[in-house]
Chain A
Amino acid sequence: EIVLTQSPGTLSLSPGERATLSCRASQTVSSNYLAWYQQKPGQAPRLLIYGASGRATGIPDRFSGSGSGTDFTLTISRLEPEDFAVYYCQQYGTSLYTFGQGTKLEIK
């Protein structure tokens, strides 16, 4: 099973700032099948990024994904108040999917 480790655990920033979230895999993610999700309290997760860098339908362009192999990054270029939430990465490059433990993005 591929283990995904996200860092930092918590990120404290202010609206307007840039956020950089990391996801590291224990082995190469096949075909860069890496997704990012945003989750707010009491809601289902929302798909942001698929295939490491593809933006899902309706996702603002301030969200971008990058990386390959074992190291991936989600960048939010300029934080809006609604972006403060928990973010998860997920690999789907094998038949057994796994999620990272999450990064909480909180208002400083």
Chain B
Amino acid sequence: QVQLVQSGAEVKKPGSSVKVSCKASGGTFSSDALSWVRQAPGQGLEWMGGIIPIFGTPDYAQKFQGRVKITADESTTTAYLELSSLRYEDTAVYFCARDQKGFDFWGQGTLVTVSS
């Protein structure tokens, strides 16, 4: 059974950066595609980008190009999402999800609050 465990909640100031982690177990990390999805309060789901660790080259949604960085460490089976130049509207729950015929396993979500 695949498990994705994310890092804890963060409070950040506008203009700063945040890095969220997603520790995977039970699957084949290197070849499993993994995506990041966010959900602002009361809003819908928004795909941010994804990566296949063995290939290492991520894809990013156009909206986040230049501000987002997705990486994966095969030695620790952990994926990371880094978002820079944070704005108040980046306040959201950030999810990682395994991408295999749809997003079949999800992390528990990480709340990132941007506040001065």
Q: Count of A-B contacts with CB under 8 A?
A: 61
Residues of A within 8 A of B99 (CB): 92
Per-residue interface assignment for chain A, residues 45 to 59, with 1 indicating a CB less than 8 Å from any chain B CB and 0 otherwise: 111011100101100
From 17 to 56 in chain A, residues with beta carbon under 8 angstroms from any chain B beta carbon are 35, 37, 39, 44-47, 49-51, 54, 56
What B residues does A88 contact at CB under 8 A?
Answer: 44-45
**Interface SS, B side:** strand
Neighbouring B residues of A100 by C-beta, 8 Å: 44
Identify B59's interface contact among A51, A96, A102, CB under 8 A. Answer: A96
Contact in complex: B45, A56 (CB < 8 Å) = no
Residues of B within 8 A of A102 (CB): 44-45
In whole Å, how far is A88's beta carbon from the nearest beta carbon of chain B?
Answer: 5
Q: Which of A88-106 contact B (CB under 8 A)?
A: 88, 90, 92, 95-102
Assembly CA distance A96 to B48 (angstroms): 9
B65-116 residues with Cβ-Cβ distance < 8 A to A are: 95, 97, 99, 101-104, 106-109
Question: Which A59-108 residues sit within 8 Å CB-CB of chain B?
Answer: 88, 90, 92, 95-102
Contacts A44-B108, A88-B44, A90-B47 known; A96 to B62 CB distance under 8 Å? yes
Q: B46 to A47, Cβ gap below 8 A? A: no
List B contacts of A57 (CB < 8 A).
104
Query: Is A56 a contact of B102 with CB atoms below 8 Å?
Result: yes
Q: Which residues of B contact A (CB under 8 A)?
A: 35, 37, 44-47, 50, 59, 61-62, 95, 97, 99, 101-104, 106-109
| Chain A residues close to B by CB (< 8 Å) | 1, 35, 37, 39, 44-47, 49-51, 54, 56-57, 88, 90, 92, 95-102
